[in-house]
Each structure stands twice: as structure tokens, then as C-alpha cells.
Amino acid sequence: MFYDLNIVYDGVKEHSRREMLAMAMQMGYSGIASNHVVVGLMADSDRCRICPLPVSAIISASPGVAEAAKFHREVLGVPVGQPFRQYSRLTIVIEDQVQAAALNAANPVLRTYDLVAVQPTNQKMLGQACNHLEVDLITLNFTEKPSFRLKLPMIKAAIERGIYFEISYGAALMDIKARRELFTNIKILIGWTRGRNIVVSSRAKRALELRGPNDVANLASMFGLTREHAKAAVSKNCKSALLHGVARKRAHKAAIIVDRLPPNSDHKPLFNVPKVWDPLSSGVGDCLLFEDSKHLEQNLLFGDKSGTDSRSITENQQATDMETSNDENGLLFAPLRKPGITVNDVETPKAEQIEKKRKVARNKPIAVRMSPRTIGRKRARQ
């Protein structure tokens, strides 16, 4: 399974975005993350607005993409039946303490994204990012001369906290100067990390700036990584970063996830761990491409004018979406790290009442909970 965790989203036209996704799909990637960049202070308007593209849109961008993707996946040894996933990602460029303060676990804006990355621009912020900030990735702009020095203690701290460093190659493909800077600066990072906790991504603005997973791994080994580390940088490490994101986004205290059960599931016994539980699923962004692609393609070719056909596509699409994302009828508690105990809500009249109450409660505005620190401060004032 290969991932590309940085596809530019801002200022990219819809058509070229489709092309990029189609290209990534063709090259055999299992997932991509669309990146929204915020410079400076984060506002409430920066909530995740990245909507995953449906399969039909991707196929319309380049016909035959499904077969090509199948071919490349077979070449790469990635299971063909796996859905192609689209994640959302936020990158915050921080300069000072005030901007950094927005990056805490309680911030609701961060929770709307699958991945959160931080791009520090100076030494102090880099130290802060490595030691304290609640993020999944630290991305450093290596294509320019860096205004900070990487130091061993902070990099060690970041690795211990399970944060990954990101290297982007997209700009280097097009610009020779950027390429030189990239190779120079990466040497230092790789020297300190010894090849661990590194993620290589594209930061592609166009489909042309993407490369196949094997080629990226080779590029990474030219940076000085060993072969295993190079391959991990496009596959395993990306997956871990995504899981870190899942723990931050959906889990309570990074330990327990509360998920809704599908509506028409039968009464399952209590204390049962679901067999098919995929933490990496981004829910709506999954494209189950190889099942309905042919049908879709035919519709695109012949049946566009008749309204019924296109409607049936969207309905199918929605149906598959519903299957992947879960519905509103039951609650399922699945522990993230060690699957041990699950509790199912049994659908009894009582349970329904509780559910109604919960729905009402859900519609109410959520009270802002105080973190232990603020409580402590209040007490001190009193």
C-alpha cells in the first residue's frame, strides 16, 4: 500500500485536481491527502472544506483509469480490491507563539482534518513543534535555504512522540535550483533521524509532478536512506502517520473510538470486536473503483443525456458511500490500540429512547470543556 500525503488543494482548478487524482490512482497509490495550507493564524473558517471526488469525476478526467490502475497495482503487488482513499490535510505555517497556540488537542478545527501538519519557519517554532504541538507531520521547506538548524535533541523528541518528518519532491522535479537545495538540506535531516520517521510526498500542483511509488522510493534512497527505509517512507510511515491522525481526530484520549454501527446489522452479541474494522478508512472518500467502474464508464459514454442513468449512478455511489461510512442507529465502541472489548447497543425500545435523547443532545451546541490547566488557573485566582 502506497500513499502520497500531499496533493495541493488551494488554487488548483477542479479539472487539474481530477487529473492529479486520476494519475495517482493509475500509478497504483492506495490513498492521497489533499492539502490545505494556512499561513499564520488559524480561523474558524479554515474548517475542512475539502470534499473527496467521486469515482465518476475521476474517470471522466481520464478514461480507462480503472484498468490502468488495476494493471499498476498488480505490478506493485497491491491488492486490487482495495479502495482508493482520499484524505484531507491541513498544513499550518507558524512563525510565533500565538500562532502555535492554536495547535492544541482541544481545537475543533483540527479535528475536521484527517492529517495535521505544521511548517515551522524559525528555530524556536521548530523546537516547539518537535516537543509540544499536537500534530501528525512536521513539514520543512527544503527547497529554500532553511532559516533554522536541525538539532538532535528535538528530532529525537519528535520521533519519540511518533511524529513524522515530511520531504516533498514535487518542486524539485521542475526546478534545478530547488533540486540542489533539497538534496543538500535533506542530508542533515537524514543524518539525525538515521532514516526513521520520514515520509516522502509529492506536493504536486499538476499531474506531471507525480511519480510512481517505486520511483519515489528510489529517489528517497538517493537522498541517503537505506532501501527499507526508502520504501517505508512511501508506504509504512504514511500509514502510521494516518493512524496517528485517526487517533488525534476520532479517538477519545487517543485510545478509544466511538463509531456508529450500520443500520440494518443484526443483533450482534455483546463484547464482540468487529472483524472488518479498518481504521484507515476515511469514510466518504473511499472509491471502490473496481466494482462499479465499468458500469460508470459505460454510463459516462452512452447514458449521459438520459437523466435516469446518471441518477442511478449517484444513487449507487451514495449506496456504496453509506456502506463505507456508518449510519446513525447504533453505537460501537472499538478500542484503537488493542482491540479487546466492544459494547454494542442492543436495539430495544429503551435503547431507541436513549438514542432519541442522544440525537437531541447532539443538536444542542456543545459546551466547551475546560482543560485541566484552565481549571487550575481559575482555582488559583479564587
Partner 1 sequence: MRRATEDESILPLIHYTDPRLPGGSAQRLQSLSQWTVTSAIKDSILINFGQHGLATCLHSLQVKYVNPITHLCVVRCSRDEYQRVWCAISFITTIENVQVIFNLLDLSGNVRPCREAAAKYDELKLKLLVQRSGIQLPVEQVERARLHLKKIEMIDA
Where does this chain bind partner 1 (CB under 8 A)? 19, 23, 26-27, 62-64, 67-68, 71-72, 75, 173-174, 176, 179, 207-208, 210-212, 214-215, 218-219, 221-222, 297, 301
Distance separating alpha carbons of residues 129 and 118, to the nearest angstrom: 7
CB of residue 32 to partner 1, shortest distance in Å: 16
Under 8 Å between Cβ of 8 and 21 = no
CB of residue 339 to partner 1, shortest distance in Å: 33
C-alpha cell, 49:
472544506
Closest to partner 1 by CB, 63 or 339: 63
CB of residue 299 to partner 1, shortest distance in Å: 11
CB of residue 297 to partner 1, shortest distance in Å: 6
CB of residue 290 to partner 1, shortest distance in Å: 14
Closest to partner 1 by CB, 215 or 304: 215
Give residue 379's Cα distance to chain centre.
39
Closest to partner 1 by CB, 72 or 229: 72
CB of residue 313 to partner 1, shortest distance in Å: 16
Distance separating alpha carbons of residues 36 and 90, to the nearest angstrom: 5
Dihedrals phi, psi of 250, to nearest 5 degrees: -110, -15
Distance separating alpha carbons of residues 165 and 241, to the nearest angstrom: 10
Closest to partner 1 by CB, 215 or 278: 215
Under 8 Å between Cβ of 331 and 258 = yes
* Coil/strand/helix, residue 75: helix
Closest to partner 1 by CB, 132 or 294: 294
Dihedrals phi, psi of 159, to nearest 5 degrees: -65, -40
> Strand ranges (DSSP E) for the chain?
3-8, 31-39, 85-94, 115-120, 137-139, 164-168, 198-201, 251-252, 256-261, 330-335
Distance separating alpha carbons of residues 189 and 172, to the nearest angstrom: 17
What 8-state DSSP symbol labels residue 347? -
Under 8 Å between Cβ of 351 and 344 = no
CB of residue 344 to partner 1, shortest distance in Å: 44
Closest to partner 1 by CB, 214 or 265: 214
Closest to partner 1 by CB, 218 or 329: 218
CB of residue 125 to partner 1, shortest distance in Å: 32
What 8-state DSSP symbol labels residue 64? T
Q: Give Cα separations from 193 to 91, 164, 227, 236 (angstroms).
A: 22, 10, 15, 16
Closest to partner 1 by CB, 19 or 136: 19
CB of residue 10 to partner 1, shortest distance in Å: 21
Distance separating alpha carbons of residues 376 and 357, to the nearest angstrom: 33
Closest to partner 1 by CB, 23 or 33: 23
Number of H helices, E strands in the chain: 15, 10
What value does the CA radius of gyration of the chain take, rounded to a whole number of Å? 22
Determine the residue type at 260. R
CB of residue 75 to partner 1, shortest distance in Å: 5
Q: If we measure between CA atoms, which residue out of 176, 258, 201, 196 comes closest to residue 8?
A: 201
Under 8 Å between Cβ of 59 and 300 = yes
Closest to partner 1 by CB, 26 or 86: 26
